[in-house]
Amino acid sequence: MRRIELLIFISLLTINYSIMAQSNVEAAPLQETYKQNPFTLVYAGAITENVKGKVNIHPVTYKLNGLEIAANVYTPANYNPENMYMAITVAHPNGGIKEQTAGLYAQHLAEAGFIAIAADAAYQGASGGEPRHTDNPYYRTEDIQGMADFIAQFPGVDPNRIGAFGICGGGGYTLKATQSDKRFKAVATLSMFNSGEVRRNGFQNSQLNTIQERLKQASNARAREAAGGEIIYAGVASVTDKEIAATKTDLYREGYAYYYRTHAHPNSTFLYTMSSLLKLMTWDAATNMDLINQPLLMIAGSKADTKYMTDEAFAKATNAKDKELFLIDGATHIETYWKPEYVKQAVTKLVDFYQKNL
């Protein structure tokens, strides 16, 4: 077995974090909450059992490029496979999995009458692929198209009425997937995060002067992997309460609390392979936005420190049909993942958008 070396390297942080063992006693009790749900869902109001006549959850697996993908399909109340339903693909955030906010939104969409699928990205979560935590933007784009492949053939789905929805990094990848894949008839994002731009330039362009240095680190990491050596990881394996409190940006401070405290799940991690940066740093969600000619809805919190990414991509979507930028007043990036009053606003807007355009 390869020795895994964890190397801290994360955009934007103004303090250094020490990698701690996954068995960190401070976080361990909170990481057990997923066991309280039979489907290991960690969001509020999650389904605990399938009841006839109500929204149900169907754990499924399917093959994508030789890898087994793990997904949850949510069907609406009184689902009848003989009927024809609109379907939505839901792409999870960076570091996230289908059991967190992606599942929350998928469940709400099913409550509104849609069939929704939330899948773990390849190499991440419960899906297959080695090395673990590979974060290749081309794979992530393929993941979304793979969800469309699967859900289009799910009993009761109208393949001509499929919409795409992505949250955070999944929003950026959803923009890219729908630029070319016209099976998606309507496109929506929430708190869109442009992974390529941030890995390249740093959060809020804070690392422009270290681009070449970081590319060299990624190149060295790939060379080490190719030679059979250890896998170098960037990111954070665990974090203390003190470190969370000291983080200056809302995105990462609230993100650490979300992923490692309130909505912790063993399949969710902030780690990614250092070699992933070779592709991430040359990729950008906001390029070729003019190829999107479908209806487009982009949602962001008015207080989100990531809003600049949504603004940039939205402005470039010059050919999108009936495009709309919807701001959730007072919401930060992470709060749109879980805070009931903000989730309700986002879901209401999404339901209206998809009903109108699918």
pLDDT tens-digit map of 261-290: 999 999 998 899 999 999 999 999 999 999
| Coil, strand or helix at 162 | strand
User: Is-contact 186 294, C-beta < 8 A?
Assistant: yes
In tens, the pLDDT along 1-44 reads 333 333 333 333 222 222 222 323 233 344 478 989 999 999 99
Q: Is the pLDDT of residue 334 over 80?
A: yes
Q: To the nearest 10°, report the CA torsion of 342, 250, 193, 137.
A: -130
Q: Is the pLDDT of residue 321 over 80?
A: yes
Report, as an integer, the average pLDDT of 350-354: 98
Residue 238 has what pLDDT?
86
Q: What are phi and psi of 248, to 5 degrees?
A: -85, -25
For 337, how many CA atoms within 13 A lie in the half-sphere containing its CB? 32
Residue 29 has what pLDDT?
42
In tens, the pLDDT along 150-183 reads 999 999 999 999 999 999 999 999 999 999 999 9
195 — pLDDT class (breaks 50, 70, 90): very high
Confidence (pTM):
0.91
Measuring CA to CA, how many Å separate 214 from each of 5, 114, 237?
Answer: 17, 43, 20
Point out which residues pair with 328 in neighbouring strands: 301
As to burial, measured by CB atoms within 10 angstroms (0-12 exposed, 13-18 middle, 19+ buried), residue 281 is buried
pLDDT averaged over the chain? 91
Among the residue ranges 4-13, 127-136, 233-242, the one predicted with the least confidence is: 4-13
Tokens representing residue 263 in the block: 């909505």
Rounded CA gap, 252 and 255, in Å? 5
Question: Looking at the domain 4-357, which fold is it?
Answer: Rossmann fold (3.40.50)
Rounded CA gap, 170 and 160, in Å? 22
Tokens representing residue 156 in the block: 């009761």
Question: For the chain, what is the radius of gyration of the CA atoms?
Answer: 19
